[in-house]
Amino acid sequence: MEFTKMHGLGNDFIVVAGEQALPAGVDELAIKLCNRFFGIGADGLVYILPSEVADFKMRIINSDGSEAEQCGNAIRCVSKYVYDNGLTTKTSLTIETLGAGVQPVELELADGKVSRVTVDMGQPILNGLDVPTTIDANPVLGHTVTVDGRDFKFTAVSMGNPHCVIYVDDAVGFDLAAWGPKLEKHPLFPRKINVEFATVNTRDHVDMRVWERGAGPTLACGTGACATLVSSVLNGLTGRKATISLAGGDLLIDWNEENNRVYMTGPAAFVFTGTI
Ligand SMILES: N[C@H](CCC[C@H](N)C(=O)O)C(=O)O
């Protein structure tokens, strides 16, 4: 099997192109290939597939074998892959995902290769029961979830995949491993959830660290950055355009007031190709 290793701000993926559909047992394959000691090592396994409604379709399997509906860093990597490898000559194209349908992407080039990508990440889903959470509220703002006797106030946002955003004094130094797994799997979240810990520095700059559903602590999360911006606007903490600083680098997120769609701009990087 031929693969290409790529990352978006250190959130890394094994990218596979040329297949017509996901192989049987893709969950076990993802677990095996994403293993950082016995496999290639990655946060997820990403397939570029044909689409009937867009230029390409992307499907993403987390390193624990679960399939996610959407992935912001991966969609930038897929966009870079298809242009740099000559699968398209367009710098404006569309990628289909399970969680956000047809997503327009805009490619920026440097020396003939894609350097940055702006992705239309669609409209945020704010109705609690649709995120999903078990909370019948729209939106879910400042609700409390308790784990091991500690209360966390959170805002729930879906970008096609579920997120809960929690504001803390020091996101950069927050102990993700202590609290992330318990929140990820809390009964309030029927399909588990990605957990973002955020510190708002100014009205256009937020530090965020993430514990991802099905992948654990990653260096960056594109959909999580979108969810963090949306949550920060809803809570009156930032404007509709802000830089979200993650461990792996910065994403620029813009929640357009006219069309209610969230735009994410950031880099994508090629690392190596291989055969396994
Ligand atoms: N672990 C996520 C999928 C990857 C999302 C993240 N890597 C991104 O860049 O958006 C989930 O199960 O919803």
pLDDT digits 0-9 by tens, 12-68 = 999 999 999 999 999 999 999 999 999 999 999 999 999 999 999 999 999 999 999
Say which CATH architecture domain 140-260 belongs to. Answer: Roll (3.10)
Written as six digits, the tokens of 179 are 């609290």
Q: Name the residue ranges covered by the structural domains of the chain.
A: 2-122+266-275, 140-260
pTM (predicted TM-score):
0.98
Give the C-alpha separation, 245 to 247, whole Å. Answer: 7
Any binding-site annotation on 248? no
- Out of 34, 71, 77, 164, the active site residue is 71
Is 77 a known active-site residue? Answer: no
Alpha carbon separation from 256 to 85, 154, 233, 259 (Å, rounded)? 32, 23, 11, 6
Find out whether 212 is annotated in a ligand binding site. yes
The reply to whether ipTM tops 0.95 is yes
34 is a catalytic site residue = no
Superfamily of domain covering 2-122+266-275:
Diaminopimelate Epimerase; Chain A, domain 1 (3.10.310.10)
What pLDDT, in 10s, does the model give residues 191-232?
Answer: 999 999 999 999 999 999 999 999 999 999 999 999 999 999
Minimal-distance CA residue to ligand 1 atom 5:
71
Out of 77, 164, 221, 226, which one is annotated catalytic? 221
Distance in Å, CA 256 to ligand 1 centroid: 22
Q: Are strands 262-267 and 101-110 parallel, antiparallel or unpaired?
A: unpaired
Residue 122 in contact with ligand 1 by CB distance below 6 A = no
Matching fold, domains 2-122+266-275 and 140-260 = yes
Residues 6+ apart with CB under 8 A from 148: 182
Cβ–ligand 1 contact at 251 (below 6 Å) = no
